[in-house]
Amino acid sequence: MIESGAVQARSFSHREILTILSGILLGMALAALDQSIVATALPAIAGELGGFEHLSWIVAGYLLTSTASTPIYGKLSDLFGRRAMLQIAILIFVTASLLCGFAQTMPELIAARTLQGLGGGGLISMAQAIIADVISPRERGRYQAYLSGVWATASVGGPVLGGIFVDYLSWRWVFWINLPVGIAAFILCRRALAALVTPRTRRRIDYLGAALLTLAVTDLLLIFTWGGISYAWTSPTLLTMIAVAPLLIAAVILQELRAPEPVLPPRLFASGLIRTANLASFIVAMAMFGGVVLLPVFLQLVTGVGAGDSGVLLIPLMAGTVVGAYTAGQLMRRTGRYKAYPLIGLSASTLAFALLATMDATTAPTTAMAYMGLLGTGIGSSMPVMLVAVQNATEPRDIGVATATVAFFRSLGGSFGAAILWSVFLAALARGLAVAGGALGVEVLQSGPDAAAHLTPAQHALLMPALVSAFHLVFAISAVLTAVSVVISAFLKELPLRTTPAHGGAEH
């Protein structure tokens, strides 16, 4: 009997791999485009819908549901096949994108983005699991050009396209653009991934584990989002949520230990390599997603560039990520080794965040682009390596859920990073404005990118130093986070990279 979740136990030819890749590349493009195109529109969205203090939830709400759903996609794909789960993810994502574009209030947009995350959780995790099914870790670099090319086009073009939509059409088009891309991805996946159809297996799904995991993640995220901003840390609401958090975490652990088909199989975490890679991915994602949310806000509010120009300035960040990932993939293929690349990349990212923490209104655009290019290259050369290391150390039966586990901790870190760093930013800004005196508060930013234009010279003189100081703090915290990830990555065990795919037959 074929192993649950497996495709055929054989190796795929180069032509077959290219056919399969054609089906997942558009899905990856959809996810990459959504991650990058929304960033430049955030200030404009706040300007039209209000709720600037809740702006991070446009990112965090998406990451929350994508985080909770990612391991569920992984487990279901191991049982019922990758193609079906990828198509379901695309349908949910496209439907939610339509709703995002029609949102009339900030709560409506956040709700639609939360639904969109249920689809987004499957886009990347399924694509990465399919790649692991058909391409060996050692040979992954051979096809990295295709993967990096699509990711680069979507990631680099996303901020520019988002800026153009904001300046000349509407921020709503950053969501509506997903419709034609998503429909094309669905059709192509249905045809190209036919070879990956998996026989159905009758097994119980760990719905209770999935529900408990969602509750635990939501509780923790709300604690760090609301704490000190919406509620005082000593308020009954926060104290109750803090008290409930360890109980929910304990319930998740107990359920996963007893479940026949756990969402997060405990056997995976028996591996020190998997624990180390997931912890490093979690911490790096905290810094990275926090930066993605804050950098376009910094560029538009502090340096005064428009949405379109801020998108152009973000190109080095996205392009650097692709260059770093491609370079690391090629080096892994040639050397069969991987540990050095996250150490080097994360050290570079630490330096980049430290440099970003020195920027102010007088920083030259070329200087900012250089810093962001260094940041992107460092992150790009580290995060994909963690995924390959985990897939390389995982048994074929668990390749889907192991891939989803990496995506889970990455999304969890991103959710925490976007929420926590945004909360720190708002708290630091409020404190800075209070120390400076005057009647200004964080609500002055409600008008979005044009906030500074509505102020008198005296008010502007109060706002700018407080803004810059708040950004310096969050970028400095990001530097500390990436420095911690360097230390953790030093403990990453290096195993010989397999030369066969997860379901590609015997090792040789």
pLDDT in tens, 455-495: 677 777 777 888 888 889 999 999 999 999 999 988 888 77
pLDDT value, residue 316: 84
The CATH number given to 14-197+261-489 is: 1.20.1250.20
Verdict on whether the full-model pTM lies above 0.75: no
Q: How confident is the model at residue 352 (pLDDT cuts 50, 70, 90)?
A: very high
User: Which DSSP state fits 53?
Assistant: G
Token duo for residue 347: 């050290």
Count other Cβ atoms within 10 Å, centred on residue 220: 20
- State how far the Cα of 174 lies from the Cα of 192, in Å rounded to an integer: 27
Rounded average pLDDT over 320-337: 79
Residue 85 backbone phi and psi in degrees, to 5: -70, -35
Q: Encode pLDDT of 277-287 as tens digits.
A: 888 888 888 88
Contact between 487 and 293 under an 8 Å Cβ cutoff? The reply is no
Give the rounded percent of residues in the chain with a pLDDT score beyond 70: 76
The DSSP-derived string for 70-100 is HHHHHHHHHHH-HHHHHHHHHHHHHHHHHHH
pLDDT value, residue 374: 92
> Helices 383-392 and 315-335 sit at what angle, rounded to 10 degrees?
40
**Is residue 499 scored above 90 in pLDDT?**
no
- State how far the Cα of 211 lies from the Cα of 197, in Å rounded to an integer: 28
CA distances from 276 to 39, 136, 160, 268 (A): 30, 22, 36, 12
Would you call 14 exposed, middle or buried from its count of C-beta atoms within 10 A (0-12, 13-18, 19+)?
exposed
Q: Encode pLDDT of 70-120 as tens digits.
A: 777 776 776 777 777 888 888 899 899 899 888 888 888 888 888 888 888
Token duo for residue 64: 């929350």
Top mean pLDDT of 52-56, 206-210, 327-331, 367-371 is at 367-371
Interior angle at CA 495, CA 493 and CA 499, nearest 5: 155
Token duo for residue 199: 């026989």
Q: Encode pLDDT of 113-161 as tens digits.
A: 888 888 887 887 777 777 767 776 666 656 655 666 676 566 666 767 7
Contact between 153 and 29 under an 8 Å Cβ cutoff? The reply is yes
The better pLDDT of the pair 426, 242 is held by 242
Segments making up each domain of the chain, as ranges: 14-197+261-489, 206-260
- State how far the Cα of 188 lies from the Cα of 168, in Å rounded to an integer: 31
Residue 484 backbone phi and psi in degrees, to 5: -65, -40
Using DSSP's 3-state secondary structure scheme, residue 314 falls into: coil
Mean pLDDT of all residues in the chain?
76
